Each structure stands twice: as C-alpha cells, then as structure tokens.
Amino acid sequence: MFPELNNLLNTTPDQAEQGKLTLLCDAKTDGSFLVHHFLSFYLKANCKVCFVALIQSFSHYNIVGQKLGVSLTTARERGQLVFLEGLKSAVDVFFRPQEDPHPLQFLREANSGNLQPLYEFVQEALKPMDSGEAAWRCPVLLVDDLSVLLSLGVGAVAVLDFVHYCRATVCRERKGNVVALVHDSGDAEDEENDILLNGLGHQSHLILRAEGLATGFCKDVHGQLRILWRRPSQPTAQRDRSLTYQYKIQDKNVSFFAKGMSPAVL
C-alpha cells in the first residue's frame, strides 16, 4: 500500500471503513497501481480478500505485492486470500464437463449469459468463518478488472447485476468492501463501457480516477488522480468533496503532490 495515498484518503489499515464500494477507473493511463495498493492495504488490514484477477497471473501480483510488503503466497496458504486466476482457469472451463459449475461459465455460453456462477464463487469464498478458525476483520472483494468482462461478451447490465449482488452480499450483509477497476474508453465511443462506468459510479461511495496528463507523457509526472467522495452516511455541506493530485510511480512507492508542485519542476 502507498502511505501517501492512505493520507489522501484519510484512512489506515486499522481504521478501514466497512460496507463501501470503491470504484477505480483509469483513462489514458494504467490504473493498476491502485489495484496493487488496495490489495496490499486490505491484506495488511487483516481482512479476508477474494481477488478475481482476470488480467494478470498470480506471480505478477505476488511480485508487486512483495515490493509493497505483502506475500500473496503466504496469504493464500493461511486462507486469508482466495485468488481466482482468470488466465489459468479460463482454459479449465473447456476441459471440464459442462454440468460442473465454474465461475467463468459464461465463456462457454453462446449468448451473453449472466455472471451468477461468478457471484456464487465470490459468495462461497467470502462466507463467514466457522467459529473455530481465525477471525478476519471483514470480507473484501477485489476485481481486476470489469471492462475485460465486456470484451469477453458479457453485457453491461449483466456486469452491473453481478456488482449489485456482490454489493448486497459483501457490503450490506457481511459489512465488507468491494473494490473494482473499470477502464474508461474516453474518446472511443464504447456505449457498453460507459453504461458500466456510470452505473458503477452511481453505486459507489468513493471514486478514484487516474488520468493521463492532457499534455501527454511526462517523465516526472505520470498522471493525475481525482478522488471523489459520494454518498456519505449523512448529507452534509461537504457531500461532494473532490480532490485532484498528480502522482509519480516509483519502484516501491507512488508519490503524490498537488498539481504543478512536482519536485522535478520546483
């Protein structure tokens, strides 16, 4: 996790909020550093994490996680992390009998089905522990990412329904958190992606948006992060607080600074 991002979000692993949906989105840049941040954040916060990783392999997340101070292998062995490796298990779908339920069952279906098997996998992974086992703090679902589901033929409404059910189970019923990454297609007119992004935006409590700089690539400033807090529990005067920071990604850390205040230009 990145300590500076924790400061910006005003949170620490010990005081993580519960029952929230956080939406990560990126436009014209790669926002996966946010996924690594939240993965290591919730592992350090002693939460049970179900990670639906559709983009990269387990070893990739493990290597990055080790730089941030968590070991995914250890977490998986002691039951804190349930890891669905999409790249590997997508192939398994075709080598099993069709009746066996598989989380990525939608890959076999000719028309865009629903994501109920994936939801049931998540529900099973994050179900409350029996009293004999170690008590984790709260369940967390992390998805990297949801846009690839659209590319694999699932409709935007089906993905929204999946997130809806995850919210109902993980956030509401089990007082956990859901974090999901969606790519913003930007100028490319992708209606399904826009419906997904805006639909999730309406459901989320916190939106973190990583954008590339409007002026193009820069060596010292890799992009800009916009933070939007929505739906606080009480509608107060500050209900739509929004902050913007610029960032630079380093080997083991991401440094954040106010716009125009990069150390390289001061």
Partner 1 sequence: MLELLLALGGLVLLRDSVEWEGRSLLKALIKKSALCGEQVHILGCEVSEEEFREGFDSNINSRLVYHDLFRDPLNWSKTGEALPGGPLEALRALCRRTDPGPVTVALDSLSWLLLHLPCTTLCQILHALSHQDSCHGDSSPGEQVHVLGLLHEELHGPGPLGALSSLAQTEVTLSGVMGQASAHILYRRPQQRPTHQTQWFSILPDFSLELQGGPPLESQPNPDPHTPSTDPTTHLTFNLHLSKKEREAKDSLTLPFQFSSEKQQALLRPGLSQATSHIFYEPDAYDDLDQEDPDDDLDV
Binding site for partner 1 (CB under 8 A): 114, 116, 119-120, 157, 160-161, 164-165, 168, 172, 191, 194-195, 198-199, 201-203, 207, 228, 230-231, 233-242
Separation between Cα atoms, residue 82 and residue 122, nearest integer Å: 9
Among residues 203, 227, 223, which one has the least CA distance to residue 213? 223
Q: Which is nearer to partner 1, 4 or 192 (CB)?
A: 192
Minimum Å gap between C-beta 38 and partner 1 is 20
Q: Which is nearer to partner 1, 57 or 198 (CB)?
A: 198
Q: Which is nearer to partner 1, 108 or 202 (CB)?
A: 202
Collapsing DSSP states into helix, strand and coil, what is residue 196?
Answer: helix
Minimum Å gap between C-beta 31 and partner 1 is 17
Contact call for residues 155 and 112 (beta carbons, < 8 A): yes
Separation between Cα atoms, residue 253 and residue 67, nearest integer Å: 9
Q: Which is nearer to partner 1, 90 or 228 (CB)?
A: 228
Minimum Å gap between C-beta 119 and partner 1 is 7
Minimum Å gap between C-beta 116 and partner 1 is 5
Residue carrying the six token digits 């290597």: 63
Copy the structure tokens of residue 243: 């902050």
Give 141: exposed, middle or buried? Use CB within 10 Å, 0-12, 13-18, 19+: buried
Q: Which is nearer to partner 1, 24 or 39 (CB)?
A: 24
Contact call for residues 136 and 48 (beta carbons, < 8 A): yes
